[in-house]
Amino acid sequence: MKIALIAHDKKKDDIVRFSLAYEPVLIKHELYATGTTGAKIMEATKLAIHRFQSGPFGGDQQIGAMIAANDLDGVIFFRDPLTAQPHEPDISALMRLSDVYQIPLATNMATAELLMHALERKELEWRNLVREKRKTNI
Ligand SMILES: O=C(CO)COP(=O)(O)O
């Protein structure tokens, strides 16, 4: 599965700890991230991550574009709900597209853990069917 990892600045330590804890699960998947989040996770783990631009410079939009192309299977996005972000419209757009395309989107650690357990149990395999179906409909 293709999974994106994103965290706002005050949540960076959390996503690094989360990635370390779930490294054995994450390593089996194709990983994507916004720029700084990806760099910090790669520093702390052995995970290989395709890094997009930093969030304020378009990274959320690049991940959104993957969703719109039906090319992403899940998003872990540790948002900071207490700090205003200059690129709030990009963040809303990413979350909106996740809902448009029914992409699992975990916006906090509690839900992200559920997503990891679902991945381990191969409960996201339905995504393969959706991806194939959409390919043939285009
Ligand atoms: O701002 C972000 C998500 O909206 C995250 O971007 P960085 O990972 O580059 O800090």
For 80, the token pair is 């900071």
Q: Which of 60, 77, 80 to mutate to test the pocket of ligand 1 (most atoms within 8 A of CB)?
A: 60
Q: Which residue type is seen at 46? A: K
**Which pLDDT score, from 0 to 100, does residue 131 have?**
82
The confidence band for 36, taking pLDDT boundaries of 50, 70 and 90, is very high
Q: How far is the CA of 135 from the centre of ligand 1 (A)?
A: 30
Give 135's pLDDT tier (boundaries 50, 70, 90): low
At residue 133 the predicted structure's pLDDT band, cuts being 50, 70 and 90, is confident
pTM higher than 0.80:
yes
Distance 102 CA to ligand 1 centre (A): 22
Q: Per this entry, what is the length of the chain?
A: 138
Looking at ligand 1, which atom is closest to the CA of residue 77? 3
Where along the chain do its domains lie? 2-137
Residue pointed to by tokens 């559920």: 114
How far is CA 12 from its chain centroid? Answer: 14
Whether domain 2-137 has CATH 3.40.50.1380: the reply is yes
Question: What average pLDDT is seen over the chain?
Answer: 96
As a whole number of angstroms, the distance between CA 73 and CA 57 comes to 23
